[in-house]
Chains A and B, each alone.
Chain A
Amino acid sequence: MYVAVKGGENAILNSYLLLAAQRRGDNRLPELSVLQIQQQLKLAVDRVMNEGSVYDPELAALAIKQASGDLIEAIFLLRAYRATLPRLGITQPLKTERMSLQRRISATFKDLPGGQVLGPTYDYTQRLLDFTLLASSQPVPTAVTHNTEEQPGRIDLAVTPRVVDLLNNEGLIETRPIPPGDPAPVDLTREPLRFPAVRSTRLQNLARGDEGFLLAMAYSTQRGYAHSHPFVGEVRLGQVALEIVPEELGFAISIGDIEITECEMVNQFAGSKTEPPQFTRGYGLAFGHSERKAMAMSLVDRALRADELGEPIESPAQMQEFVLSHSDSLEASGFVQHLKLPHYVDFQSELELIRKMRAASSQTPSPTVPGVTA
């Protein structure tokens, strides 16, 4: 006999309990603290802050704990929290040439003012499982430095000019002057995305975009889907001051530092009727230590400038609507997973249709029933 789908509320409340038990795991083991996650899973925390659009390592760590380490779920938690926060002010543009650097890499020049600093990176680790980490409580050795005057991995320059600025001195790279009137950028968290989207809007979308999606899009530009001849002008990681200008003061004050990763990608450009051959730029900026994200973002940013630079738009990475409408992990994850919801009614309609088509096709010799798009 048919049993109606009742008792949904009990099932939901029970699912909370089962989830809590799954999250906690074996009770005999000590529980992870939010502080441990914040300190020891830093790169996960950084990703959640980026795509969650909130710079708050503690809340990001809390979200990771609550989501049992599912980063997209953690991003969702942080975004839903963020949506309830008021916007109190707008910061001044970041002065990244003044940031305090922990890492700074250029692939275009062997040496340059400010130098190359490897800093903390997995780049040259040989990816062998480190079985010593299986044992707990390993003391961490401190970095060795040849120059005892300096702190390890720190560049002590008040200003470290960006590579693009150095190229700019020769006029070999495009400049991006502040547009007349310096219009305020659209805030995608308050206004819907409209097409065509200007570059600042695109960059905000990419900054919030899913790292995996951006990585694949960026990768596609290197494999012939959009012409791209990129060089890493520079990747830098460090602390940068956030400044606001309170109305009652009328001058900028620092409200604290945040850690960021910045990438300037330098791309070949053959020139156009109005522009001489020169290098063009793709830009990536991310919270925390997020090089993969910043680099992918800069490649996609450059590909999305095809229209502005008069390049033919042929590949997905160059198509604004394709990239920007599908970059958000919340939108993608929600809509893909909504297929779990009941679709009895729509399915019933399709069932009727398929039967009708099969009845019709059994009368005619054509045996194939074309797929029905849903």
Chain B
Amino acid sequence: MNVAHEIELAPLTELASGDVQSNFNFAYLDERTKRMIRRALLKAVSIPGYQVPFGSREMPLPYGWGTGGIQVTASVIGPKDVLKIIDQGSDDTVNAVNIRRFFERTAGVATTTHTLDASLIQTRHRIPEIPLQEGQVIIYQVPVPEPMQRLEPRETETRTLHGLAEYGLLHVKLYEDIAKYGHIATTYDYPVLVNGRYIMAPSPIPKFDNPKMHMNPALQLFGAGREKRIYAVPPYTSVESLGFEDHPFEVQRWDAACALCGAKDSFLDEVITDDLGTRMHVCSDSDYCQSRQDASRSAHGEAAI
């Protein structure tokens, strides 16, 4: 993120080529709106995990489909950025394709599917398997920013609870899970304590991804368009998943390996391959899977020569 982007912006006429829409501002949003969102982002970065209300705009994509992430991306993107968009870990799902196309049309920036080549990554429901680097920005699409909403739907109440750091509700919920099932029955959007102060919804990423947020060198930004909230985790910030001493936080493990690349360390999706219900497991992170397949193919190729 670079707050001075506005000054660096190339004139629109230079950017308008091919399919790029020249009748909209760079990255669709007008500069005043971007400034408003950047102010919210600065506040969010200053108070890690705190939900900053912002004047979310009606985007040309539906609420609930990534409008928060899109507004954050549109506010921090510059012409030199390289953008990667993933949904469920994959660059190829229709919503990811659609949002990528939106930025190709309105900003004309370079896009990539390679995690390491991207300066900005907008994601829905996953964190890439390859560790993020310093200087990268990951932008999460957030449906429900309030981690206590399902326990207390009134925002006036949850705001007070955050103010007092009174998070008993969440601990009781986890405790009740243990009492009922013997283990914590939350598998995604698993609440985290950020910088020892605010409890935050990590967005519906699987809890498998939660540990990746901790002390991550990349800047993590969260946009909730429908609920009109922005929050952030600055680089190298502690992000602790809730748990108990006798029932610590645990991530999912699979007995299987990815059927395509053989990975045993990645989040695996189950795919049903015939009408008898035969299943196979494949990596949810399509770029990770593909690069592993490419690497093994070229290794085999070299061996053959």
Contact = CB atoms under 8 A, between A and B. Distances in A.
A372 B185 contact: yes
A79 B207 CA distance: 36
A191 B57 CA distance: 9
Chain B CB within 10 Å, residue with most, of A9, A193, A342: A342
B59 interface: yes
B249 interface: no
A177 interface: no
Given A2-B260, A334-B65, A348-B284, A357 B181 contact: yes
Contact of B269 (A7, A345, A373): A345
Interface string B200-212: 0000111110000
Contacts of B206: 345-346, 348-349
A251 B91 CA distance: 57
Contacts of A349: 187-188, 206-208, 252
B268 A341 contact: no
A12 interface: yes
Contacts of A194: 53
Overall SS of chain A's interface: helix
A79 B58 contact: yes
B136 interface: no
Contacts of B98: 8, 12
Interface in A314-355: 321, 325, 330-331, 333-338, 341-346, 348-353
B89 A192 contact: no
B94 A8 contact: yes
A368 B193 CA distance: 33
Interface residues of A, number: 53
Bin chain B's interface residue count.
35 or more
Chain A CB within 10 Å, residue with most, of B89, B185, B229, B271: B185
Given A321-B156, A370-B180, A2 B64 contact: no
Contacts, number: 147
Contacts of B88: 342-345
Given A12-B97, A80-B60, A190-B55, A5 B92 contact: yes
Contact of A80 (B59, B226, B269): B59
A169 to B, nearest CB: 39
Interface string B72-103: 00000000000000011110111111100100
B62 A330 contact: yes
Contacts of B187: 346, 349-350, 352-353
A17 interface: no
B63 interface: yes
Interface string B231-263: 000000000000000000000100000011000
Contact of A4 (B92, B182, B189, B205): B92
B53 A334 contact: no
B54 interface: yes
A83 B63 contact: no
Given A2-B260, A4-B92, A345-B125, A335 B63 contact: yes
A341 B65 contact: yes
B95 A334 contact: no
A191 B282 CA distance: 43
Contact of A192 (B90, B228, B282): B228
Chain B CB within 10 Å, residue with most, of A348, A350, A372: A348
A262 B35 CA distance: 38
12 contacts: A12-B94, A83-B58, A192-B53, A194-B53, A195-B156, A321-B153, A331-B63, A342-B95, A344-B88, A345-B89, A346-B125, A350-B187
Complex A-B, nearest 6 residue pairs according to Cβ-Cβ distance, in ascending order: A334-B63, A338-B64, A349-B187, A334-B62, A8-B97, A192-B228
